Amino acid sequence: MFIAMNRFRVNPERVEEFEQIWLERETHLQGLPGFVEFHMLRGPEKEDHVLYASHTIWRSREDFEAWTHSEAFRKAHANAGQSKREGLYLGPPNFEGFEVIQTVGNDGDA
């Protein structure tokens, strides 16, 4: 399993706009080979930004990399650099990729 994360530092005055953009966008992820699930996470608020992270789970790194070269990826990121978003982010997103080495699940015996 592979987890792909992007961290976004968002202007605190524009968090509603940021969240609306993500809630309304088409991800183009459903039905892709190896795609498991996507999460958008809101993290801590600092003086100059609110931290967000997109968290996508893939069956393998190869499935993730295939997606990054696909038409679905190009469609999902077509409007990423729009000028109306100037000032929304404090710098570019920071990508982090992780190979899963252990998974602990809830077996339902709680």
Rounded CA Rg of the chain = 15
Q: What is the mean pLDDT of residues 76-105?
A: 83
Strand partners, 51: 9
pTM of the entire structure?
0.82
Residue 15's contacts (CB-CB under 8 Å, 6 or more residues apart) are 42, 50
Residue 84 burial (C-beta neighbours within 10 Å; 0-12, 13-18, 19+): exposed
pLDDT tens string 62-78: 999 999 998 887 877 66
